[in-house]
Amino acid sequence: MLAAMDLPLDAVPPPDLEAKPEGFVVVVAPGDRIHFLDWGRPPAGQAPGVLLIHGLSQTAWTWAPVARRLARLVRVVAMDLRGHGLSDAPTEGYHAAALAEDAVAVAEGSGLLPESDSRVVVAGHGFGAIVGTWAATALGSRCAGLVLVDGGWESLEQATGMDAEEFLRDLDEPPEVMRSPTAFLADRAAFDPSTWDADQERAARATFVETHAGRVVPATRPHAVEASVRAMFGYDPGEALIRVAAPVVALAAADDETGTRAVALETASSARVAAGRSAIRSVSFGHDGHNLMRYRPAAVGAAILAATDGPASA
């Protein structure tokens, strides 16, 4: 069963608009560099820290609206997945073990886990929620909580009605959106003009490269997108989530008319309970789109702060 959750919005401070994260890299075998943004140490920060993982074809900057709030209270680090952002884009390593290893390496290398008994909250969006689940399993008792932001609890094939090949073809942007940076940014701003700001523009710019002809192409290499999508379609949420000992929180954007995603979330939670784990605590945002960090940053921040309310299960 699911456990409904009230978000303590009053615990989330306003964003620090002056904060400027520093960029660093950690090196994982066989020498690949994984980039992350470190939002700094708050004056009176409390443990545990937070590791943020972005979604498919995005970068660490997509988490800025949440990071600007949480960084006033806790240590916040947002990583670029391999093949994305400023991380290296090797031709291999886009599978559960390697992606989890990248996340753990960032958590350790950034100082989020300074001691053997230190713990970290892992929060992931979309594909990042899948990677976050694998990372939470790899971290074991060092994971204080897992926050799934609109992803990580469902089979992509069942949710989309597509196989990996169909999904990849469906990722292509309309030609009119890709004709120039101005057109691309205008398209992204139109998703919700009220939330479009400098952070959203920076996050959007990080996802494309301008060609000499003035058009734009995706910044994420095609081989990295394909391999990441195949990893997504190979993900078994029932099997993966019962392996996470930490409390799990799920934030769900608007569902389709059939409520398929809500059913999948209920199923994943029931599987955890049957396996002796805690139920997934959830909040649904019935009228908001996939990018809840943009549309509901305070709520996402509140969920992350509340992620350790429940004890880890055995």
Q: How far is CA 33 from CA 103, 125, 180, in A?
A: 12, 22, 30
Does 199 reside within a domain? no
The pLDDT tens digits for 156-199 are 999 899 999 999 999 999 999 999 999 999 999 999 999 999 99
Q: Are the C-beta atoms of residues 279 and 3 closer than 8 Å to each other?
A: yes
The pLDDT tens digits for 251-271 are 999 887 778 899 999 999 999
Cis peptide before 30 (omega within 30 of 0): yes
Q: Are the C-beta atoms of residues 203 and 59 closer than 8 Å to each other?
A: yes
Supply the pLDDT for residue 314.
Answer: 42
R_g over Cα of the chain: 18
Report CA 99 to chain centroid distance, whole Å. 13
Query: Domain range spanning residue 147?
Result: 3-160+221-305
* CATH assignment at residue 29: 3.40.50.1820
Cis peptide before 48 (omega within 30 of 0): yes
Does 181 reside within a domain? no
CB environment 181-197: b (16+ within 10 A), e (fewer):
bebbbeebeeeeeebbe
Of 23, 33, 27, 132, which Cα lies nearest the Cα of 90?
33
Does 197 reside within a domain? no
Q: Are the C-beta atoms of residues 7 and 284 closer than 8 Å to each other?
A: no
Q: How many structural domains does the chain have?
A: 1
Supply the pLDDT for residue 129.
Answer: 98
Of 63, 65, 57, which Cα lies nearest the Cα of 78?
63
Q: Which residue has the tokens 């978000």?
A: 7
Supply the pLDDT for residue 313.
Answer: 47
Q: Are the C-beta atoms of residues 130 and 232 closer than 8 Å to each other?
A: yes
Does 168 reside within a domain? no
Strand partners, 36: 24, 79
Torsion of CA 164, 134, 6, 144, to 10 degrees: -170
Q: What is the 3-state secondary structure (H, E, C) of 207-242?
A: CEEECCCCCEEECCCHHHHHHHHHHHHCCCHHHHHC
For residue 278, the SS3 value is coil
Does 13 reside within a domain? yes
Does 240 reside within a domain? yes
What DSSP character marks residue 294?
Answer: H
Supply the pLDDT for residue 311.
Answer: 46
Kindly state the tokens that stand for 8.
Answer: 């303590």
Does 188 reside within a domain? no
Q: How is the chain split among helix, strand and coil, in percent rounded to 5?
A: 40, 15, 45
The structure's pTM equals 0.96
Supply the pLDDT for residue 41.
Answer: 86
Q: How far, in Å, CA of 69 to CA of 269, rounded? A: 29
Q: How far, in Å, CA of 205 to CA of 177, rounded? A: 13
Assign residue 97 a region: left if phi > 0, alpha if psi is -120 to 50, beta otherwise? alpha
pLDDT digit string (tens) for the chain, length 314 residues: 666 678 889 899 999 999 999 999 999 999 999 999 999 988 776 669 999 999 999 999 999 999 999 999 999 999 999 999 999 999 999 999 999 999 999 999 999 999 889 999 999 999 999 999 999 999 999 999 999 999 999 999 998 999 999 999 999 999 999 999 999 999 999 999 999 999 999 999 999 999 999 999 999 999 999 999 999 999 999 999 999 999 999 999 988 777 889 999 999 999 999 999 999 999 999 899 999 999 999 999 999 999 865 444 44
Q: Which residue has the tokens 């209270």?
A: 73
Does 195 reside within a domain? no
